[in-house]
Chain A
Amino acid sequence: MTYPAILTIILTPVVLLGLATVLTWVERRLLGLWQDRHGPDRVGPGGMLQAVADGTKILFKQDWVPPFADRGVFVAAPAIGMMTVLLSFAAIPVTTRAGIAGDMNVGLLFILGMMGLGVYSVVLAGWSSNSKYALLGGMRAAAQMISYEVFMGLSLLGVVMMAGSFSLRDIVAAQAGLWFIVPQCLGFGVFMLAGIAETHRLPFDLPEGENELGAGFHTEYSGMKFGMFFISEYAGIVLVSCLVTTLYLGGWRGPWLPAGVWFALKTCCVVVFFILLRAGLPRPRYDQLMALGWKVLLPLSLFNVMATGTILMLRASL
């Protein structure tokens, strides 16, 4: 392995964790802005060091495991969550060259697989806590994330068909003429919804649902183990935003500015959109969410696959 590759591998998680931490501050300031209040603005310039203060606090908290919890699984759950999200980033191509394994020929499958594994983190956390609220949260998480995994995969098939590859770099390359958001608008919509559900963010934050379940699957967690759930949720937002950028918004492509800047800009826009959703929408009920998934999104994504396939076949035969 070359020297720069190892450096990238070491740097990427550090940068990502930093990003996710800063994102907690960005979200709180943006929510403050939209909700006619200040948000955290005291620590450092504009409150930017709030994330550092929170991180320090959470690091120094007692590392406590409830006596009634299943200790091994309880400790492993947040680590699984963190790991799967960070590993997923390996397949994201930031520019034509940057990225750890952007050329991986099954990049997209790899990410989907990692996201699938991520479900374990939430389910195991809910199960091992041995607490009723956590259990209900874990149960919701299992149902929600497994269902939405299905549509997520299906919604992406359109993109894969058009690009003819599972490699994310090839997919970006295939968007040279037109971003896939235009021909794949249906798939884009389904993927966005599934992405929110995957990161369990409002309005699809049912596994947490603080108004109903206290804190859902991580009710019993505190200290850095809670911090890891927290950070992996934000890293998850960045991941889904990166995916949206890569799959539908042309990745690093754009005029005048360097490729990396374009990628970052587009990703930021999607992240902000995620936060805006949280500020604006109420939360559907558990069964309504499942009904939306199986009765609306599944047929839509199947239709999308069929329509894309038909059009591609017709075009090829012409």
Chain B
Amino acid sequence: MTALVSPARNRGLVEQITGHLPNGALATQSTCDGVCTIWITASDLRPTLAALKASSAACLMLLDLTAIDERERAHRAGQPQAAFTVVYHVISLASRADEVRIKVPLGADAPAVPSICDLWPNANWYEREVWDLFGIHFHGHPCLRRILTPPTWTGHPLRRDHHARATEMPPYSLTEEHEAREQDALRFDPSAWGMRRHGDHSDFMFLNLGPNHPSVHGVFRIMLQLEGERIVDAVPDIGFHHRGAEKMGERQTWHSYIPYTDRVDYLGGVMNNFPYVMAVETLAGITVPPRAQMIRVMLAELFRIASHLVFYGTMAQDVGQLSPVFYMFTDRERVFGIIEAICGFRMHPAWFRIGGVAIDLPEGWDGLIRAFLHDLPRRLDEYDAMVMRNPIFRARTKGIGAYTTAEAVEWGVTGPGLRATGREWDYRRHAPYACYDQLEFDIPTGTRGDCHDRIAVHVEEMRQSLRIIRQCVDNMPTGPVKADHPLTTPPPRARTMHDIETLIHHFLSVSWGPVIPPGEARASIEATKGVNTYTLISDGGTTSYRTRIRTPSFAHLQMIPLLSRGIMIADLIAILGSIDFVMADVDR
């Protein structure tokens, strides 16, 4: 990752925005990642975004919408006065790496901005999240209520003055009245969501699908309005898996946060470390050596295969096919064998380090991988015959849960879900990171954007990942696996025992962790399920001031009501399977 990319490359969107502003921007902030950051007032927000969207609607995605509690931040030179900041991250899919961050400064008392739900439908959940976690109000939001924390929660967890751990609170106890109150709060009230209890000819049945249900892949609840077995409307309810991963980032050192990232998309393993360490490296100005880059890419692709195998097997399971999941878990076991040989861990290796990877590859690593590269393609062909070409499976997935590219962009869908609609968009190609620009691979796409296409794209991606891994094995460069930089972790110790100055620095860097210079940076990758972005703000300390994790699954789940209207329950299950989400990735 090269630090400090010139902001010049972002002219497209930036020029459009400044053109739409009658009074000009409040300020333009330069960030470490080179994404142009424009400050505008809350009153300019809606006209600016509306004009921006109108001029290039088809390919403009609201990638992320979040907030920052600025009240304790020391290094804010050149930024407008603000107690809270709302951040809109807009990305253009049309041209290479055209993205822009729009920031709106807000005061400390009753912070509020106008809602943009009508401009981008996927802003709905993001605004609810910001309201829930920061207490920032969105005027005109159709249903501004808590999304990640329970409805009975008091306070807004991501504010700096909200406690971060249980030891800061009195001991927890659950009385019977309290329990009854909590349960009562979870009772679904259709009228609160604008749903009618009775149709023209019949009463609707409201069914709680989840939070414990075999096919919701984790703790996820969907309230269904049913007429017979046909779904009239659906309301997804998330947050059961919320562990405050972003809040933890504000307490953990830059280094000790790495294992937490593994658990965000728990099927993705080191794939989660990737954007995090890349963002830290951008902040610290560390250039990662080529061998480390290629090892990272290789491991990430192995995890992509492992994750896709789980997807493939559980997808077949969801439509009632019992056997494939066992074969695919056997293959995944082989992937884990390789990963364990390299990292020492299986699912959550936490193996990337700031500046490189933990250790060099073990002896004989290439033999293991080559054997796997040789075996998997044949197994995939068998699975094609068993699953993809099975007539019942095709009948269950073709034409089910289809959406267009335009809808996908509107709802912030990335990854296989976007590619299945026919849009050849992959972050590895769109803005190549690590050494993806040196690797050859195709971007598989679908045509109809239905369940079947999403599965087909996943399957083909496994083959492409194998291709990438083969190139990595064949062309693995020699050299160090970690950058020679004082801020890498663990810090370099070659000269530690030779002079006292190095010893002191080493001691501090190990015990406190590195002190990352102040700044803001985001790093995005094409994760197993779509674009995963880590946005880090350093205030010149040993921990991050704000850690923002933009996960693909969060955006994808938001589409469920759109896809499920008028279909049968069994189709919804197939759609859920084909979306490929992990609840930990949704709730963080």
Interface residues of A in 31-67 (CB under 8 A from B): 31, 34-37
Chain B's closest residue to A205 (CB) is B320
How long is the Cα–Cα vector from A279 to B327 in the complex, in angstroms? Answer: 12
Select B322's contact among A132, A202, A287, beta carbons within 8 Å: A202
Stretch at the interface among B45-53, B105-113, B266-274, B564-572: B564-572
Contact A34 B323 (CB under 8 A): yes
How long is the Cα–Cα vector from A279 to B323 in the complex, in angstroms? Answer: 6
Asked if B215 is at the interface of the complex by the 8 Å CB criterion, the answer is yes
- Answer whether A36 and B320 are a contact pair too, CB < 8 Å, given A212-B569, A212-B573, A282-B390: no
How long is the Cα–Cα vector from A123 to B447 in the complex, in angstroms? Answer: 42
Chain A's closest residue to B325 (CB) is A35
Q: What chain B residues lie within 8 Å of A285 (beta carbons)?
A: 395-396, 568, 570-571
Interface residues of A in 286-317 (CB under 8 A from B): 286-288
- Answer whether A132 and B205 are a contact pair too, CB < 8 Å, given A282-B390, A282-B393, A282-B396: yes
Q: Mark B553-577, 1 if CB is under 8 A from A, else 0.
A: 0000000000000001111010000
Asked if B512 is at the interface of the complex by the 8 Å CB criterion, the answer is no
Q: Mark B324-358, 1 if CB is under 8 A from A, else 0.
A: 00110010000000000000000000000000000
B551 vs chain A, min Cβ distance (A): 25
How long is the Cα–Cα vector from A35 to B390 in the complex, in angstroms? Answer: 17
Q: What chain B residues lie within 8 Å of A36 (beta carbons)?
A: 326-327, 330
How long is the Cα–Cα vector from A132 to B207 in the complex, in angstroms? Answer: 7
Q: Mark B369-387, 1 if CB is under 8 A from A, else 0.
A: 0000000000000000010
Stretch at the interface among B8-16, B33-41, B311-319: B311-319
Contact B214 A288 (CB under 8 A): no
Chain A's closest residue to B574 (CB) is A285
Contact B568 A287 (CB under 8 A): yes
Interface residues on B, range: 20 to 34
Q: What chain A residues lie within 8 Å of B501 (beta carbons)?
A: none
Chain A's closest residue to B397 (CB) is A282
- Answer whether A209 and B323 are a contact pair too, CB < 8 Å, given A203-B392, A285-B568, A286-B229: no
The count of chain A contact residues (Cβ–Cβ below 8 Å) is 30
Select A278's contact among B214, B322, B386, B396, beta carbons within 8 Å: B322
- Answer whether A210 and B326 are a contact pair too, CB < 8 Å, given A281-B392, A285-B570, A285-B571: no
How long is the Cα–Cα vector from A283 to B570 in the complex, in angstroms? Answer: 10
Contact B215 A136 (CB under 8 A): no
B455 vs chain A, min Cβ distance (A): 12
Asked if A183 is at the interface of the complex by the 8 Å CB criterion, the answer is no
Q: What chain B residues lie within 8 Å of A279 (beta carbons)?
A: 322-323
Q: What chain A residues lie within 8 Å of B568 (beta carbons)?
A: 285-287
- Central interface residue in B318, B319, B393, B571, by most chain A CB within 10 Å: B319
Asked if B471 is at the interface of the complex by the 8 Å CB criterion, the answer is no
Chain B's closest residue to A35 (CB) is B326
Select A202's contact among B320, B393, B396, beta carbons within 8 Å: B320
Asked if B96 is at the interface of the complex by the 8 Å CB criterion, the answer is no
Contact B319 A211 (CB under 8 A): yes
Contact A284 B396 (CB under 8 A): yes
Contact B322 A286 (CB under 8 A): no
A285 vs chain B, min Cβ distance (A): 5
How long is the Cα–Cα vector from A35 to B321 in the complex, in angstroms? Answer: 12
Select A211's contact among B207, B214, B393, beta carbons within 8 Å: B214
Interface residues of A in 137-151 (CB under 8 A from B): 139-140
Q: What chain B residues lie within 8 Å of A282 (beta carbons)?
A: 316, 319-321, 390, 392-393, 396
B400 vs chain A, min Cβ distance (A): 9
Q: Mark A204-237, 1 if CB is under 8 A from B, else 0.
A: 0100011111100000000000000000000000
Contact A136 B569 (CB under 8 A): yes
Q: What chain A residues lie within 8 Å of B213 (beta carbons)?
A: 214
Q: Mark B385-424, 1 if CB is under 8 A from A, else 0.
A: 0100010110110000000000000000000000000000
Interface residues of B in 200-238 (CB under 8 A from A): 205, 207-208, 213-215, 228-229
Q: A36-B330, A136-B229, A282-B320 are in contact. List 16 more A-B contacts (CB 8 A).
A: A31-B323, A35-B322, A202-B322, A211-B214, A211-B215, A212-B215, A213-B569, A214-B214, A278-B322, A282-B319, A283-B321, A283-B396, A284-B395, A284-B396, A287-B568, A288-B396
Residues of A within 8 A of B (CB): 31, 34-37, 132-133, 136, 139-140, 202-203, 205, 209-214, 278-288
Q: List 29 A-B contacts (CB under 8 A).
A: A35-B323, A35-B326, A36-B326, A132-B208, A133-B207, A136-B207, A136-B569, A139-B228, A140-B229, A211-B318, A212-B569, A212-B573, A214-B213, A214-B214, A278-B322, A279-B322, A279-B323, A280-B321, A281-B320, A281-B392, A282-B321, A282-B392, A282-B396, A283-B320, A284-B395, A285-B568, A286-B568, A287-B568, A288-B396
Residues of B within 8 A of A (CB): 205, 207-208, 213-215, 228-229, 316-323, 326-327, 330, 386, 390, 392-393, 395-396, 568-571, 573
Of all A-B residue pairs in the complex, the 3 with the closest CB atoms, nearest first, are A283-B320, A282-B321, A35-B326
